[in-house]
A and B are shown apart, each in its own frame.
Chain A
Amino acid sequence: MKRLNVTLLLGLVGFASWLLLSSVSVVKLTGKALVYNVGLSDLLESLGDTSSRNPVKTVDRKLVSVGEKLIFEGKANYKSNKGKRISTYFVCTDCHNMTQEYPTLTDVDPQVRLDYAVENNIAFLPGSTLHGIYNRQQFYTKDYEKKYGELIKDAQDTLENAIQVCAKYCSSGRFLEDWEEQAILHYFKDKELRLIDLDLTDKEKNRILTISYSGSEEEKMKSISWLKEKYTQAYIATFLETKPKNERNYGKSGNADNGQKIYEKSCLHCHDNARVTYLDLDKDVLSAGLLWKHRKDYTDLSPYQIIRHGTYPITGRKQYMPLYTEEKMSKQQVEDLVAYIKKIAKK
């Protein structure tokens, strides 16, 4: 009997110790997660960064949910404001993913992006992802000036203006009301990159946090530069000309399997059942035959032309197809796509 009591007592002590230790580690972990969850914009601000913008100081949950609705559905109400559709033709997610598009936050390679899209079942789109857009410093970079000229002058370094340009011109819609712009901004702020998202060790994260609290000015400046190397500040856009006829390989040098990934994740995102456009494409001989027939042309139905130039909104047909920059679809990927088109067109 005495032996049983001792055993029970030992068991209880053991269980209590396990419970205590577990609780401590849970508290420790939760605490860590909370600290590491700090938004990069706030962290950079606390480090004294003056080059990054952080227009939203406190996130308003109501505005976040309104912003989410605007982005995914293109229309929302807020307080007494009855929302109108931003664009009759597009919503943000037609051209932009809302999630991470590369395995790391510094990747920019289009093939890495395609493989990641297939692996994570997301689309392979012409626009850059809106994931982490709040932390970017440049928008409508480089060659977008060729397309939009003066329109993007004030939008290249200011997120609010970039949102307005996208709403009015890119989506063939209208300028946003102030509350709509704020709602989208609050949504982006809520979904901004956080310290925990960066590929850093706990030691590195702790060091950054310590510097932000009590580091010297020099340490802070170094930390800002170091931190900004850990994620993409701007997605560069290089526009390419349509490949001349005599330089096109018409699928000979292409990988049809890779092309199939592009067709499924890119073309069919909008063209399947004519979801966004009037052109209904499928993975059949008729759809592929149409594209194959025009492969030598410099028209909208030639893959070589449409990918690099897209189409333009015109009266009576405001939906248009945005172009793919070199960074969003490589030259080789275009050949891969044509190789797949050739394969299903049975040519």
Chain B
Amino acid sequence: MKLSISIICSFICIFFTKAQEEVKAVTETFSGIKIINSHSTKTLKKREFSYVIEHRFGDIAGSNGGVQTGFGFDNATDIRFGGYFGLSDKWMVGFGRSKGAGNPFRSLVDLNTKYRILQQTEDNTIPVSLALVGTANVTYMKASEDISLVSSFPKFTNRLSYSSQIVITRKFGTRLSTALTPTYVHRNYVRFDDVNGLFALGGAVNLKITKKIGLIAEYFHAFSDAEGRANNKNSLALGMEWITSGHVFHFNFTNARGIGEVQYIPSTTSDWLSGQFRFGFSISRIFKY
């Protein structure tokens, strides 16, 4: 009996001692609020504002690339300007406007929010960081008169699409970080042989070469056997992150044409093996407000 009481007391003491200790958080798992295409678990701090410019050029090779298009630099498959506000050290909201890759629509406006529930700690009491991300998109492109196209938008709600993500990251040591991102994308209006709801699983790895430079690989696998998706490809991106004082730069190569979950997960049709991958970059800058 006495032994049991002692053990319980010890546990209580350990618990409270742990609770009182300042447990150090693991940071810089991925340096940006985005990995390449997908979100990371990083959130802005309270009263921080981040302005982001994202760009995807045209195909480097293949039938639409090569010398004639300056290896894709003559074209822009998607461009996005966006901003994010840190409402607390764990919660941020953002907005953006994208050109859109055009498949099946373009001219997108998005609203998004991210809340970090868990932050990995150095003592491993919390082994991973975990964030929830929600995005809502609306396209304002002029409706097509061809009613066989998705972009005919019979109703306003047909213009809407959403995504929900659980982003789980873990840093191993000082250089290697990984991410696992179960994602659900819902598009209100799709072709008859496509699916409205699509589940995908993303994964990413970041290998830090120096304090400022990391090499990143990111892959998203969409799970669907819908007939209309037979020619779709999964998004694969390889890139580099580069941190400077206040800026985070990403340089990447990806087969995804569009920016944002509702584009690169369900609508990627470009194939790496056919040379249909492109150079892209993003620049983000943090300001205090």
Chain A residues within CB distance 8 Å of chain B:
88-89, 272-274, 278-280, 282, 284-287, 289-290, 316-319
Contact in complex: A319, B288 (CB < 8 Å): yes
Report the minimal beta-carbon distance from A210 to chain B, rounded to whole angstroms: 47
Interface centre among A282, A287, A289, A290 (most CB of B within 10 A): A282
Residue of B nearest to A277 (CB): B245
List 24 A–B pairs whose Cβ atoms lie within 8 Å, in order of A's numbering: A88-B289, A89-B288, A272-B24, A273-B27, A274-B27, A278-B245, A278-B286, A280-B27, A280-B28, A282-B27, A282-B28, A282-B174, A285-B174, A286-B174, A286-B208, A286-B211, A287-B211, A289-B211, A290-B210, A316-B246, A316-B287, A317-B245, A317-B246, A318-B288
CB-CB under 8 A from A289, the residues of chain B are 210-211
Known: A273-B27, A317-B246. A286 touches B289 (CB 8 A): no
Interface centre among B25, B27, B210, B288 (most CB of A within 10 A): B288
**Majority DSSP secondary structure for residues of A touching B:** loop
CB-CB under 8 A from A318, the residues of chain B are 288
Residue of A nearest to B89 (CB): A273
Known: A273-B25, A316-B287, A319-B288. A290 touches B245 (CB 8 A): no
Report the minimal beta-carbon distance from B32 to chain A, rounded to whole angstroms: 13
Which of A280, A286, A317 meets B210, CB within 8 Å?
A286
Chain B residues within CB distance 8 Å of chain A:
24-25, 27-28, 47, 174-175, 208, 210-212, 245-246, 285-289
Known: A289-B210, A289-B211. A284 touches B174 (CB 8 A): yes
Report the minimal beta-carbon distance from B223 to chain A, rounded to whole angstroms: 36
CA distance A114 to B208 in the complex (A): 33
Sample of 7 further A-B pairs with CB below 8 A, known A286-B211, A287-B211: A88-B47, A272-B24, A286-B174, A286-B175, A286-B210, A289-B211, A290-B211
CB-CB under 8 A from A317, the residues of chain B are 245-246
CA distance A286 to B210 in the complex (A): 6
Residue of A nearest to B285 (CB): A316
CA distance A289 to B175 in the complex (A): 13
Interface centre among B27, B245, B285 (most CB of A within 10 A): B245
Report the minimal beta-carbon distance from A282 to chain B, rounded to whole angstroms: 7
CA distance A286 to B206 in the complex (A): 14
CB-CB under 8 A from B285, the residues of chain A are 316
Residue of A nearest to B245 (CB): A278
CB-CB under 8 A from A274, the residues of chain B are 27
3 tightest A-B CB contacts, nearest first: A290-B211, A286-B211, A284-B174
CA distance A284 to B176 in the complex (A): 13
Interface centre among A279, A289, A318 (most CB of B within 10 A): A279
Contact in complex: A290, B212 (CB < 8 Å): yes
Interface centre among A284, A286, A287 (most CB of B within 10 A): A286
CB-CB under 8 A from A316, the residues of chain B are 246, 285, 287
Contact in complex: A278, B246 (CB < 8 Å): yes
